[in-house]
Structure 1
């Protein structure tokens, strides 16, 4: 996570916005949550060492994380969705009811309000950071509108070609706009020819798999540095306190002795290699789908102890039933033979029951090429062990 945060800060330092993209459960939202907190309370960096010769006990320490934008920074979080619009992000008109009648008054959205914040001489902030979760869940081109231009730092204040903010919805008088209501209950006006402030930064997340999402167009995409978030089984190894180097590839000699956590690690790795080969890497399964599996628990005395192996196998089976397999079904929709091959349906273990099989039919005229429905978590524990271990092969 620290490396990705440094990538985001480097993009901001170069006058660019950052876009985190990848399959679900690869840590995108968690990463921007950590960055959100880092801007409020600067953490220690994972780079560099400070030497304090006056401190004999702990002479070495880490410096604070190098934040490449002016501080203090105001941080704002928003999530795009299908009903989110220009009125929410830039400028909208809302009815104002008074004794003399009803009129429409301008209200600033998230992006314009960031500009008004930095234009306010009484503001305590030197920069504004906008976190946009699920940027492709809404129609981003419509949401930004003409303000897409100001994602490019060249067209902002102190840029190479600063442009005036085009707010034709506002009424101007004597060089000043009408009052704009802000979410903070403040009011502001902007002068004619107002240029967009420089120190407004955006980091967004984008799900590369969601078919219901709206693809972002090239004009918007080129204004972001793309930072890929890939599935990383090593996160699971750390989460379960496994020695990565000690995890051997499954083979005919060792598959029956794999622990539940080694099995889960190898299973995710094998599934993702197959998915990347069949469908493309953007369809892989995120490691976060398996983090609910816990290697330890806290007992009544408050001590941390390993979970029972039986509990771990059941936990893997439940994650499979509730999360992993539904996503596999979605990805392999229309490709039943590839799914059957992925699950070794026609090449089961040499002995013992196996969780997955072809659907039975009483009609001799039809050859079933679809899976029999099954909830693996409800099977006997020995079948669960055998089935998942065999899937790692």
Structure 2
């Protein structure tokens, strides 16, 4: 069939995106290119296959042939439309993920399916070898002797909780970037549900606010009644609630996790509130980590009357319950695409409060108090507010990807260095973020960086 008259250089970005969407709908059906990949929205495609499909859609001829060869000629057309062409990353042959998510490909490459090998323990600094009790220390061990036991030498604690200081609402409002009305509403939600989640873009002070909410309810900066834990993909039920873990003698025994220890402490002091802060709550497998908390977190399911027996607990052991004086405050980052949302069963156990970037009067007042010149403060707040508006309006990003104000809450002690401080943050921390946001639109990223640094 003759090639259509359409000049391949007249393809539009919308036509190429239509082709990518069509390829996603059709599912993986072709290998990646041997040398180059087109990277779009975290996925990789064969550039010439994309161009071929876009050309057919544009000409409305399903048998049309893309007139340019693979490699530089095709790549040049796509790059002129602001698509990113990268050299191919190695992939696993016959993998069903060949046209799928890049992160999933990399995880597949990290799989190890070989059998583990037993190796003799090496001498490790900080670990003392315990001599066998029935043999002389000078007697050599035979090949049939059991491996020697080890005693782990834990380092002595090098810190102590600071003396609690009074803390009230006036002090909180002086260092938080939220209004008195929103602070009051947040505290009311915490008291009503006993479980609160602070959610928003990175850098909006979620963890900072969580600790101060606890201090407000305690009336003091009492670290002894506040516990902080951070979830991550490797965190498990056994770490948080209860499970079998190795001890210093190299044997496994049943041990309580952070939650059980914390609840036992709180149950012994029922007249005062205790706060468990969970940072990056949705970075872990929340349903698996929480286990029985799906029931016990309910505000009306607290106390011994609703106790349950834990799966690992031996017969006859007392059941577990969450005391009425325990409060949970979690933080959730909404910008990371790799994080799964909470399921509805867990979601209804919490009250949610959203935090937004604050580049208005509160930040300007903080910078002024630190001696930052007004011109530097004005440049920072106006340009970051404008950038966040662009991010909010972008259909591929949205408000969850806005830049938070915490990047700029620690200006230098010397006012004369404020301009250089701001320039370094913009170049070293904000610019790489924009490159990642608009990975498939480098021209747009460059345009926004120029506006930011102009």
Do the structures match in fold with TM over 0.5? yes
| 1:266 correspondence with 2:417 | no
- Cα-Cα RMSD: 3.1
Matched ranges for 1:189-208 at <5 A: 190-191=318-319, 195-208=321-334
Give the Å deviation of 1:215. 3.1
Aligned to 1:82: 233
Aligned to 1:168: 311
Contact 1:232–1:287 at 8 Å: present in 2 too?
yes
Contact 2:227–2:277 at 8 Å: present in 1 too?
yes
Of 150, 174, 188, 2:296 maps to 150
Aligned to 2:99: none
Contact 1:72–1:127 at 8 Å: present in 2 too?
no
Structure with greater strand share of residues: 1
1:71-111 per-residue CA deviation (whole Å, 9 max, x = no partner) reads 9982211111222211121111234688xxx8753222122
Of 97, 115, 125, 2:263 maps to 115
1:124-159 per-residue CA deviation (whole Å, 9 max, x = no partner) reads 76332101111122221111123222221232238x
Contact 2:243–2:254 at 8 Å: present in 1 too?
yes
Partner Cα distance (2:232, 2:310) in 1: 24
TM-score, normalising length: structure 1: 0.60
1:29 aligned counterpart, secondary structure: helix
Partner Cα distance (1:97, 1:271) in 2: 53
Relative contact order (C-alpha < 8 Å, sep 6+): which is higher? 1
1:25 aligned counterpart, secondary structure: coil
Contact 1:8–1:203 at 8 Å: present in 2 too?
no
Aligned to 2:346: 220
Partner Cα distance (1:127, 1:290) in 2: 33
Matched ranges for 1:333-372 at <5 A: 333-343=439-449, 356=450
TM-score, normalising length: structure 2: 0.53
Contact 1:23–1:207 at 8 Å: present in 2 too?
yes
Distance change (3 Å), C-alpha of 1:316 and 1:115: closer
Contact 1:73–1:127 at 8 Å: present in 2 too?
no
Structure with greater helix share of residues: 2
2:341 aligned counterpart, secondary structure: coil
Larger Rg: 2
Unmatched 5+ stretches in structure 2: 1-171, 174-179
Aligned to 1:237: 364
